[in-house]
Structure 1
Amino acid sequence: MEVGEDAIASVKTDNSERADLLMDRFRLSVIAISEAEAEKLGMEISKPVAMCIADLAFKFTELLAKDVELFAQHAGRKSVNMEDVILSAHRNEHLHGLLKSFFP
């Protein structure tokens, strides 16, 4: 491996480790929120169900991020703005209405 290839491999490893860390933190946060909401309702949530909710939330977030990115690209921009987020919620009428009320 050449010096340039080593640097590229190192950056890819760093990015992969960072992505894994973010995914773990996201999942832990979703699990904590799920458990807190269940507790508010006087219920318990099993670990497998909490993990399933966390995985679904992560997959939804990945899809949302891709949609938002595509809306920005379609508009000829390199960065995402609130309009892209509102447009991405078009499949969920309730969420779309909430976003529009917060960000007219």
Structure 2
Amino acid sequence: MADASSDEKRERLKAALWFAVGQIVDEESMKKNRNATPQFIGALTEMVWEQIESTATDLESFSRHAGRTTIRADDVVLLARKNPDLHDLIKDYVDELKAKKAEKGKGRPTR
């Protein structure tokens, strides 16, 4: 029965993604005075879904390889390694967050 529940969740997530992609496409279509077919929205949704699944699989693999069960920011930085511009943006953001966290930690009294 766990498979049926998992399949149902997967289908609900895909439906939510389809709805969100459809809204974005509709908004952009109206701005550009163009039309998009339901087939286009469906194909775009499938493409985005496959990208999400691929990304999730890669992140899980990086985490497992490091001996962890939790995905961390470093895994996301590693995922972006093949896109230098994206990698730099993500790395800078992660470094900024780490610096803020370290700064917050300095203000705490030690016991």
CA distance, structure 2, for counterparts of residue 64 and residue 96 of structure 1:
14
Stretch moving more, 60-69 or 19-28: 19-28
From 92, 98, 104, the counterpart of 1:101: 92
Equivalent position of 1:56 in the other structure: 47
Stretch moving more, 55-64 or 23-32: 23-32
Equivalent position of 2:31 in the other structure: 40
User: Are 2:26 and 2:36, in contact at CA under 8 Å, matched by a contact in 1?
Assistant: yes
Number of residue pairs aligned between Structure 1 and Structure 2: 95
From 11, 22, 25, the counterpart of 2:2: 11
Unpaired segments ≥5 residues, structure 2:
96-111
Over alpha carbons, which structure has the higher Rg? 2
From 78, 81, 92, the counterpart of 1:87: 78
Give the structure-2-normalised TM-score: 0.74
Q: CA RMSD in A?
A: 1.7
Where 1:103 maps in the other structure, the secondary structure is helix
Q: Tell me whether 1:23 sits opposite 2:10 in the alignment.
A: no
User: Are 1:86 and 1:100, in contact at CA under 8 Å, matched by a contact in 2?
Assistant: yes
Unpaired segments ≥5 residues, structure 1:
1-9
Alignment CA distance shift 1:77-1:17 (3 Å):
same
Q: Which has the higher contact order (CA 8 A, sep 6+)?
A: 1
User: Are 1:34 and 1:50, in contact at CA under 8 Å, matched by a contact in 2?
Assistant: yes
Aligned-residue identity in percent: 25
Alignment CA distance shift 1:93-1:48 (3 Å):
farther
Give the structure-1-normalised TM-score: 0.78
Alignment CA distance shift 1:99-1:25 (3 Å):
same
CA distance, structure 1, for counterparts of residue 42 and residue 86 of structure 2:
24
Stretch moving more, 32-41 or 14-23: 32-41
